Chains A and B, each alone.
Chain A
């Protein structure tokens, strides 16, 4: 049975709308503080920092990177999804997990590994390589899920009408997965705009790396430099909204399409995927293991043992992920159930923060905490809020996807059978969206474990996380001592990474 939902959107629920709106406003606070900062600095400061030749160079660098990496990540992610979902790829199950793992690698570890292998590589080329490798899973995940949900009947009809594999992909498959490709690419672009660690190591200068440098002048200058990032983010969001159209229709099927045999091509495809995983995962891990085998000697005493740092990382990231999921619940529900402009605006606006560098968000949270909530300043609460805020869009996109898959009629059926609203929510709605909630939790958790710049600013006094301790050693060139912290970050991030892959793998099978 195929269920096509159309016009299932409901009347606005006022309480929900107000709460979702309130959450969106909180999420946009960093933007407010940017404006306040810029206002304080004045137009003169703003224009001297922004309108000079260097800004143009930086803008060109950022744009060139975005227009190369985003399509590459989209192609790579889509191709990988096609092979794991539509073909008889050997070891298919293994690949569905392994192909997601690059997302669990801290950017600065991957960049450092490649930089130490090829120190003279051209900065742009190296950045393209590293960023494509670390972002393609964001396209791969939704596209794979979308391919699984696809109704096989259309493909079969196309085939029976004599279309070849390529034509089927181009004319039948692509239109269906287009929304998934676009929403994944959107996250990729926003992450590229705000990326810092990898580019600093690879010596590629963008607006975001410049924001970090700008702190050396004054923080309001850094605020001014963040404006182009916000504008870029808004442009990308606008473009994506325009291209993808309004609502996505969820077509689901309980029947599986037959997988295309790869034949001899299997060897070529498998080697391609092996190279991909070697570049994105094996080389960075290998580098850390190599460091581990080198001298452990360091003049820097560890501020936190491996166990303490692991405890801090896991605790903060789990709390941050839980908070993100709770905050995303009303917004994802609202945007999946209501297609009015307001609901859409609330949902979209929360994506802007993804385009802002972590340190800018961290300092603006510090600003608000100092002035309006001093009790939580320099406490773990603020860091947890920062984690939730930084990765909120990732949780939202996972949860919105699963909300869209719940036929709106189901809870109503429950209600009409005389069950209470809370019973229906607990027994019907929640079980159906739970996988999306878990996926959102995993994605926020793993991106937080690899977060560095906001953590450095907001971590409570005397507390070191795995990434800050790794960074402390690495900046002292004490690689042997840094390696264990890096390896534990990867190990911790890989668990939710694998869970995430398995969940997306299941996403299509059920429904």
Chain B
């Protein structure tokens, strides 16, 4: 039997659904309003936006809280997303301090007038040329760019001595690159300042061709792991990614090694991780204390003993014993954070090479 149902009058349940929806949403909003306002308590709690590796920051913050009693809440994310977040939050940003892996993000915020000046005593803890020239941020640790290669397929003697040689067809299908990783940008910037736009662009295109469809990866961790596993033979990273992989997997599973370019090469760089205080912070004094701690002897020693493997900058603090001593390395002396700036040149060239 088939029944065709007739059209009906207005349904009362429609109005009821409307009422229920409004009621539930109203209740939810009221509840969330209560929870939102009941949060604040007496003592100072700093908010740290952290793009540095989580374990480095966790160790530093624990030592800081132990010393000062100031609590720190950490928001971990990538430095680009956190920078976007800070810019969007503007003057209402909950962040007091921003700690990044690369200095260009801090410089970008500095250029937009969003950072407070760092105390001069803090700046004096580290070499002046490592920090911002306008005192907007302070350098906390340094890293040195290096090649990592698979030791089952390649030998130290085969390693290129200049970053430009990586565009040589000899590395086709063997190299992997991570152009979206900020760590790669200072190198592009430095090559550009040394050799000019045209040559840099040709070099980037060579790198792109060598990496092929499968060789463009998101980050340095992937580069390091892929070289170690043999799915790539060579890659350009910062030295400590290799140390970190070794610390995670144990020395017995390491089938790769580091190699440095010839002294002063445009791809042989010392770059800086830094910290800054947000101008919008309502805890300026406590925020200055945290940044001061990061560069203090105690902070720098915590850093050196942690699994960060970056080089401390304060005088008299020895680097992690797993690292090659800085005095044995010979990175370019002409490339400085000031020259790197916000990384604008690097971005432009990477875009032109269609790598970004």
Binding site for B on A (CB under 8 A): 1-11, 13, 15-16, 18-19, 23, 52-54, 57, 119-123, 200, 203, 205, 212-219, 222, 295, 297-301, 303, 323, 326-327, 329-330, 333-334, 337, 359, 363, 366-367, 370, 374-381, 407-409, 411-412, 415, 421-422, 424-425, 429, 456-457, 461-462, 472, 475-478
Contact = CB atoms under 8 A, between A and B. Distances in A.
B76 interface: yes
A460 to B, nearest CB: 9
B347 A216 contact: yes
B168 interface: no
Interface in B56-73: 58, 73
B247 A299 contact: yes
Given A13-B14, A16-B15, A376-B36, A1 B92 contact: no
Contact of A375 (B10, B33, B53, B229): B33
A429 B47 CA distance: 49
B231 A10 contact: no
| Leading 9 A-B pairs by shortest Cβ distance | A421-B12, A299-B307, A13-B14, A381-B32, A219-B84, A375-B36, A119-B231, A16-B14, A215-B80
Contacts of B341: none
B213 A374 contact: no
Given A3-B5, A119-B231, A203-B213, A298 B13 contact: no
Contacts of A378: 94
Contacts of A11: 9-10
Contacts of B85: 363, 366, 457
Contacts of A412: 8-9, 11
Interface centre among B9, B11, B75, B247 (most CB of A within 10 A): B11
A123 B214 CA distance: 7
A13 B15 contact: yes
Interface stretch (B20-28, B122-130, B266-274): B20-28
B229 A119 contact: yes
B15 A15 contact: yes
A57 to B, nearest CB: 8
Contact of A3 (B3, B32, B80, B250): B3
A258 B254 CA distance: 61
A384 to B, nearest CB: 8
B11 A411 contact: yes
Given A53-B354, A122-B213, A381-B36, A421 B28 contact: no
A40 to B, nearest CB: 11
A477 B221 contact: yes
A461 B47 contact: yes
B330 interface: no
B248 interface: yes
A55 B76 CA distance: 30
B159 interface: no
A202 to B, nearest CB: 9
Nearest to B87: A219
A461 B54 contact: no
Contact of A370 (B24, B77, B88, B226): B88
B249 A329 contact: no
5 contacts: A10-B7, A120-B214, A205-B216, A329-B17, A409-B5
B135 interface: no
Given A216-B180, A477-B225, A461 B11 contact: no
* Residues of B in contact with A, size category: 35 or more
Nearest to B79: A216
Given A119-B231, A327-B21, A477-B245, A411 B13 contact: yes
A248 to B, nearest CB: 15
A303 B61 CA distance: 13
Given A3-B3, A203-B213, A326 B21 contact: yes
Interface string B73-102: 111111011001101111010100000000
Contact of A301 (B58, B87, B224): B58
Interface of B: 1-22, 24-25, 28, 32-33, 35-37, 39, 47, 53-55, 58, 73-78, 80-81, 84-85, 87-90, 92, 94, 180, 182, 213-214, 216-219, 221, 224-226, 229, 231, 244-245, 247-250, 307, 347, 351, 354, 356
Contact of B74 (A213, A216, A374, A462): A462
B9 A10 contact: yes
A376 B18 CA distance: 25
Contacts of B244: 299, 476
A5 B2 CA distance: 10
A10 B80 contact: no
Interface centre among A1, A13, A54, A121 (most CB of B within 10 A): A13
B299 to A, nearest CB: 18
Contact of B12 (A2, A380, A411, A472): A411
Contacts of B88: 219, 363, 366-367, 370
Contacts of B92: 370, 374, 377
B214 A363 contact: no
B94 A377 contact: yes
Nearest to A461: B73
Contact of B214 (A203, A303, A374): A203
Contacts of B213: 122-123, 203
B77 A456 contact: yes
Contacts of A461: 47, 73-75, 94
Interface centre among A16, A303, A407, A421 (most CB of B within 10 A): A16
A424 B16 CA distance: 10
Contacts of B248: 297-299, 476-478
Contacts of B3: 1-4
B89 A297 contact: no
Contact of B250 (A297, A374, A456): A297
Contact of B7 (A7, A326, A327): A7
A328 to B, nearest CB: 10
Contact of B226 (A119, A205, A425): A119
Nearest to B229: A119
Given A1-B3, A337-B14, A330 B250 contact: no
A400 B160 CA distance: 63
